[in-house]
């Protein structure tokens, strides 16, 4: 799980204290970097894939998520964004509920792919049809290499054994059943907290919501700063520090882990590479998938404001966030603007002196010609520093 947060402290709130993320410059939550390091370690240790999941306005999130394909050693393999106006204004519980349904759907997509092959085997489909179906699912990145693969080093797959006659139907079914069970042994990793909320509670709440959504107990461990996994038992071993206490804990899978800022990644032994390759998937899917509330099966009464039991008082304006303006380079507003419509997104309001956000060049030229915006000048600088207007001195004689 990852989250986009405001790049700076912001005063863009409604009367209910809700951050208007569509009107902000967003960046990846800095604390999530450690979560990606942990996910990368897990993939290099036991295989599988790294899937990034976030919630928020897709127009802002998709560019951020695209960058995740290249981060750290291998980057993420797939990205999903949960975006719907009905999700706006969610507190931590409504967020956890929504995210848990996103996680559940990702897992179900992969389970259904394996189940499709099992149904074909049980129905008596001929090997050629099963191989064709497996190839289609594999190229959609839904089957691990151990089931089907076109990689030269991976030859002894379940489908290849069945097609060649090494596996009977019952043996192929048994092998696929084991793969389906392994798909339920997933791990959700998240940063310890976010810079815009600082609650640190969303990760554990996702575990609770997942437990309800999937009908099984999904344990969680917070403040993880050391992590290991035993592929033979599907159990994670972690060390965490809570105050002055250091704890060493084990957890079965699935589970949710929140990764501390002092997490120390380790390197898996080279001997695990064949196993990891068999458990890995075809590669990266570089198209960010966007799901709305209906597509994840969310109850409208449990998402967004409607599903948020937290009561937030009116926002208090404590002043504008810190910003850098460069004379002659930074563009600012010359007069108040209630709102701007940019690519279907409403931005604003803006006051005189506010920095112009990223907008299309055509719109920038139009606003400039109308005198709505202009470059930051020396006069603007003096006005902001000394709260006075610059004027030309008049002679006294």
In the prediction, which pLDDT does 11 show?
A: 42
Distance separating alpha carbons of residues 379 and 233, to the nearest angstrom: 69
Phi, psi of 168 (to 5 degrees): -80, 175
Distance separating alpha carbons of residues 68 and 281, to the nearest angstrom: 17
For 40-62, the pLDDT digits (tens) are 999 999 999 999 999 988 888 88
Last residue of a domain, one of 272, 307, 342: 307
**Which sign, positive or negative, has the C-alpha torsion 126, 129, 134, 137?**
negative
* Domain carrying residue 75: 4-116+183-307
Beta bridge partners of 256: 188, 220
Number of domains the chain contains: 2
In the prediction, which pLDDT does 242 show?
A: 84
Distance separating alpha carbons of residues 122 and 116, to the nearest angstrom: 10
Q: Identify each DSSP E strand in 260-370 by its residue range.
A: 289-291, 331-333, 340-342, 345-347
CA dihedral 145, 148, 151, 156 (to 10 degrees): 90
Evaluate if residue 318 carries a pLDDT over 60.
Answer: no
Mean pLDDT, residues 374-384 taken together: 85
DSSP, res 43: H
Residues 273 and 343 in one domain: no
Is 200 within the bounds of a domain? Answer: yes
H-helix or E-strand containing 381? helix 378-386
Mean pLDDT, residues 115-122 taken together: 98
pLDDT bin (cut points 50, 70, 90) of residue 392 is very low
Is 249 within the bounds of a domain? Answer: yes
Q: Where is pLDDT greater, at 113 or 196?
A: 113
> How far, CA to CA in Å, does 391 sit from each of 331, 379, 380, 387, 388?
22, 9, 12, 13, 9
Mean pLDDT, residues 108-113 taken together: 98
Last residue of a domain, one of 239, 272, 307: 307
pLDDT bin (cut points 50, 70, 90) of residue 256 is very high
Residues 58 and 190 in one domain: yes
Residues 78 and 191 in one domain: yes
Mean pLDDT, residues 305-333 taken together: 70
Residues 218 and 355 in one domain: no
Residues 95 and 189 in one domain: yes
Residues 74 and 200 in one domain: yes
- At 83 the three-state DSSP class reads coil
Is 197 within the bounds of a domain? Answer: yes
User: Mean pLDDT across the chain, nearest whole number?
Assistant: 86
Is 326 within the bounds of a domain? Answer: no
**Which sign, positive or negative, has the C-alpha torsion 381, 387, 392, 395?**
negative
In the prediction, which pLDDT does 185 show?
A: 95
Residues 205 and 292 in one domain: yes
Is 150 within the bounds of a domain? Answer: no
CATH code for position 8: 3.40.50.620
Evaluate if residue 136 carries a pLDDT over 60.
Answer: yes
- pTM as predicted: 0.73
Is 144 within the bounds of a domain? Answer: no
Residues 281 and 381 in one domain: no
For 194-236, the pLDDT digits (tens) are 765 667 788 899 999 999 999 999 999 999 999 999 888 889 9
Beta-carbon count within 10 A of 39 CB: 27
Residues 340 and 262 in one domain: no
Burial of 122 (0-12, 13-18, 19+ CB in 10 A): exposed
Q: What is the CA radius of gyration of the chain?
A: 26
Residues 272 and 353 in one domain: no
Evaluate if residue 261 carries a pLDDT over 90.
Answer: no
Q: What angle do CA 31, 37, 41 make, to 5 degrees?
A: 150
Alpha helix stretches (DSSP H) within 169-257: 169-183, 202-214
In the prediction, which pLDDT does 383 show?
A: 79
Is 292 within the bounds of a domain? Answer: yes
**Closest to 108 (Cα-Cα) out of 301, 230, 291, 278:** 291
Residues 198 and 260 in one domain: yes
Mean pLDDT, residues 57-80 taken together: 86
Contact criterion met (CB below 8 Å) for 144 and 281: yes
Is 353 within the bounds of a domain? Answer: yes
Evaluate if residue 74 carries a pLDDT over 70.
Answer: yes
Evaluate if residue 105 carries a pLDDT over 70.
Answer: yes
In the prediction, which pLDDT does 389 show?
A: 54
In the prediction, which pLDDT does 17 show?
A: 44
For 11-46, the pLDDT digits (tens) are 444 434 444 544 455 667 777 888 999 999 999 999
Residues 196 and 337 in one domain: no
Which pair of structure tokens corresponds to residue 69?
A: 């394909």
């Amino acid at each position: 799980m990852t989250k986009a947060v405001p790049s700076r402290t912001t005063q863009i709130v409604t009367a209910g204290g809700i951050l208007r993320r569509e009107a902000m410059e967003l960046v990846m939550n800095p604390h999530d970097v450690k979560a990606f390091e942990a996910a990368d370690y897990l993939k290099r240790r036991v295989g599988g894939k790294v899937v990034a999941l976030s919630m928020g306005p897709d127009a802002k999130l998709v560019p951020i998520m695209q960058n995740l394909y290249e981060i750290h050693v291998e980057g993420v393999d797939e990205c999903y964004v949960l975006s719907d106006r009905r999700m706006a204004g969610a507190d931590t519980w409504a967020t956890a509920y929504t995210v848990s349904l996103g996680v559940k759907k990702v897992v179900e997509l992969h389970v259904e792919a394996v189940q499709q092959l099992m149904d074909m085997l049980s129905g008596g489909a001929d090997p050629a049809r099963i191989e064709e179906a497996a190839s289609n699912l594999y190229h959609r990145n839904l089957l691990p290499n151990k089931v089907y693969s076109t990689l030269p080093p991976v030859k002894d797959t379940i489908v290849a054994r069945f097609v060649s006659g090494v596996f009977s139907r019952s043996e192929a079914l048994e092998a696929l059943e084991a793969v389906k069970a392994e798909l339920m042994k997933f791990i959700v990793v998240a940063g310890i907290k976010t810079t815009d909320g600082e609650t640190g509670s969303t990760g554990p709440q996702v575990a609770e919501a997942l437990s309800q959504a999937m009908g099984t107990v999904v344990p969680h461990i917070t403040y993880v700063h050391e992590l290991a996994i035993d592929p033979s038992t599907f159990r994670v071993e972690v060390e965490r520090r809570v105050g002055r206490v250091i704890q060493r804990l084990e957890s079965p899978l699935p589970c949710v882990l929140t990764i501390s800022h002092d997490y120390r990644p380790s390197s898996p032994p080279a001997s695990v590479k064949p196993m990891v390759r068999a458990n890995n998937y075809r590669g990266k899917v570089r198209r960010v998938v966007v799901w709305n509330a209906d597509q994840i099966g969310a109850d409208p009464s449990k998402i967004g404001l409607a599903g948020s039991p937290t009561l937030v008082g009116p926002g208090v304006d404590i002043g504008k966030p810190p910003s850098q303006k460069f004379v002659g380079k930074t563009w600012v507003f010359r007069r108040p603007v209630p709102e701007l419509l940019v690519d279907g997104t409403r931005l604003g309001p803006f006051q005189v002196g506010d920095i112009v956000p990223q907008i299309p060049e055509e719109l920038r030229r139009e606003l400039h010609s109308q005198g709505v915006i202009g470059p930051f000048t020396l006069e603007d600088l003096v006005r902001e520093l000394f709260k006075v207007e610059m004027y030309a001195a008049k002679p006294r004689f």
